[in-house]
Chains A and B, each alone.
Chain A
Amino acid sequence: MTTSSHAAPALTTTSGRGLPDRPPPRRRRRSWAPYAFVAPAVVLFVVFLLLPIGYAIYLSFQGLRLAPGGAFGRRVQVFVGLDNYKAAVTDPEFLAGFGRLAVYGLIAVPFTLGLALLFALLLDHPRTRARRFSRTAIFIPYAVPGVVASLLWGFMYLPSTSPFSWVSEAVGGGAIPFLDLPLLFPSIANIAVWGGVGFNMIIIYTSLRGIPVEIHESARIDGASEWQIARRIKVPLVAPALVLTGLFALIGTLQVYGEPTTLRPMTDSITQTWVPLMTIYRDAFTRDDLPLGSASSVLLALGTVVVSLLLLRITQKRAFGENG
């Protein structure tokens, strides 16, 4: 991978023997070339990632206060220290949002990963049929935006249009209250599972395909069942893919916004501050308190990074333990 650095001087000297005046300008040109290649990305990275983060952090320490002596309630922006952070972490609604996020995530993440792994293993199972059809069918929801998925499922939950409630009523039961507690959590998690299973399945499946066939063959000849092969050989070998999908699922959970927002017109059980991002949106845009919204955004981003790093650390330890 790094052979270019070793090969380059050797090659330039050999060609330099024949053409003594050509190598220097070429070397000079190559010294700025890599910077030209990465420059657009670096500029965009700074402008749309680092700068917004920096500005949000700056703004999170500011607050709007009544100007001294301002008779008409003129408000000015002043430095307020950690006031916004205090307000954010003591806002019961913001905290409750994290609680709801946790319940939602505890359903959505294990089901997404579990089903993705199950389907990937079945696709890799030597005796399943209808593999091509199933693979495409399970992948289809990936092409459906979260908002549209919420809309579809929302109508399938809504008593007046729900096929499930129609069946339930036909057999003498009542409409199923999908959009009321306690079913609301699994109902919203189901939308994320539906949308996420296919993509994660493909990642795990391609990773499964990378396992040398001889490994299963020898296990099969030794009399191992498909279940044993899956559990003892395949799952440990695709651990890196599972870590990656787990990380995506987790980050996806922390930024859930579109699904509950889309379902809100259909039910009274979803409040305006149902998940943290909804609270941030309300604070920043409905209440025009940008500093508080910034502080909450910083907290949420920080939480995401910490949780991601924790997950990577834990799983890396486990993966190494299993390999060694």
Chain B
Amino acid sequence: MSASTAAGVLTRPAARTTAARRGRALPTAVLLAGALYCLVPVVWVVVAASKSPDELFSTFTFSPGTGLLANLRDLFAYGGGQYGRWGLNSVLYAGVGALTSTFVSALAGFGLAKYRFAGRDAIFYGILGGVLIPGITLAVPQYLLLSKVGLTGSYWSVLLPSIISPFGIYLCRVYATAAVPDETLEAARIDGAGESRIFARIAVPMMVPGLVTVFMLQFVGIWNNFLLPFIMLSDQNKYPMTVGLYTLLAKGSGEASLYSLAITGAMLSILPLLALMLVLQRFWQLDLLSGGVKG
């Protein structure tokens, strides 16, 4: 960049600077418009959560209200503290589910990337095919099967189907291939390390950036999932945040006072994931995704 600008400045200084200024304003404006588009609903919900039910329908949408504390108190009192339970359930489903899923994917990805064995390609392409089958389409058949063994309605019915992630396995394989050198593994074997020790002590530390990515994708995926828990669960106390807020909203069409609760609940539910994402953002290796199709 510096080379071309320098050359331009030497030949036609005046024209170059105005062109550069004009060339900077439009792209920046479009980009900021995009940022505004993405932020407006978030700003709106934060403002709306501060309004009492009366203010919600009477004052200008972007002027803050006076009811934030009352809304929060009502929200956590609703249904005997159900909102807090939904939040904890979501943390449980997404946290435990994503952690287990990342572990299983790392094992399989490492095995598929670093060993040659009979059936390896069949397993890999079988799992790759699973990427194309939308998880949601599976929810109904999964319900049917889990109801056969009497697991529907339990925490397991949401946790277990969330663990298997064909895409996570695929990413772990791509990442293990790229990040774990065969020479290191061989050196460890010569030193007498067992295969499980090699995985835990050598492969996993080398794969950490990729594993963080897989964990985050899985965490967000489970946290955002609606249909699976919606189908599997009937006990409101086991609902995750998404299903809980939905029931709150569905009831709200009858009683407008519940709208304030739904809005405050939505606002609060965004915060933890937002914080987690912003903290982990720099560990993300999303080039893993874009590079994936080439290989």
Contacts and interface: CB of A to CB of B under 8 A. Distances in A.
A304 B126 CA distance: 16
A258 B134 contact: no
A246 B254 CA distance: 39
A217 B105 CA distance: 40
B111 A37 contact: yes
Contacts of A30: 115, 189, 195
B185 interface: yes
Nearest to B276: A143
A161 to B, nearest CB: 6
Nearest to A115: B34
Interface string A303-315: 0110011000000
A140 to B, nearest CB: 6
Contact of A204 (B112, B138, B290): B290
B226 A145 contact: yes
Interface string A196-222: 011000111011011000000100110
B119 to A, nearest CB: 8
B216 to A, nearest CB: 10
Interface in B281-295: 281, 284, 286-287, 289-294
A118 B34 CA distance: 10
A202 B61 contact: no
A137 interface: yes
A300 interface: yes
A244 B57 contact: no
A44 B56 CA distance: 47
Contacts of A122: 27, 30-31, 34
A94 B156 CA distance: 31
A147 B226 contact: yes
Contacts of A133: 35
Contact of A142 (B114, B138, B190, B220): B220
B38 to A, nearest CB: 5
A45 B167 CA distance: 12
A108 interface: no
A194 B37 contact: yes
Contacts of B164: 41, 44-45, 48-49
A305 B290 contact: no
Contacts of B81: none
A73 interface: no
Interface of A: 1-5, 7-8, 11, 15, 26, 29-31, 33-38, 40-42, 44-45, 48-49, 51-53, 55-56, 59, 115, 118-119, 122-123, 125-131, 133-134, 136-149, 151-156, 160-163, 166, 194, 197-198, 202-204, 206-207, 209-210, 217, 220-221, 226, 238, 240-241, 243-244, 251, 254-255, 257-258, 261-262, 264-266, 277, 280-281, 284-285, 290, 293-294, 297, 300-301, 304-305, 308-309
15 contacts: A4-B116, A37-B111, A38-B107, A49-B164, A52-B138, A55-B144, A55-B145, A122-B30, A144-B42, A145-B242, A146-B226, A152-B42, A152-B45, A160-B57, A265-B252
Top 9 A-B pairs, shortest CB-CB distance: A37-B111, A52-B141, A41-B108, A34-B115, A207-B290, A137-B35, A56-B141, A33-B195, A145-B224
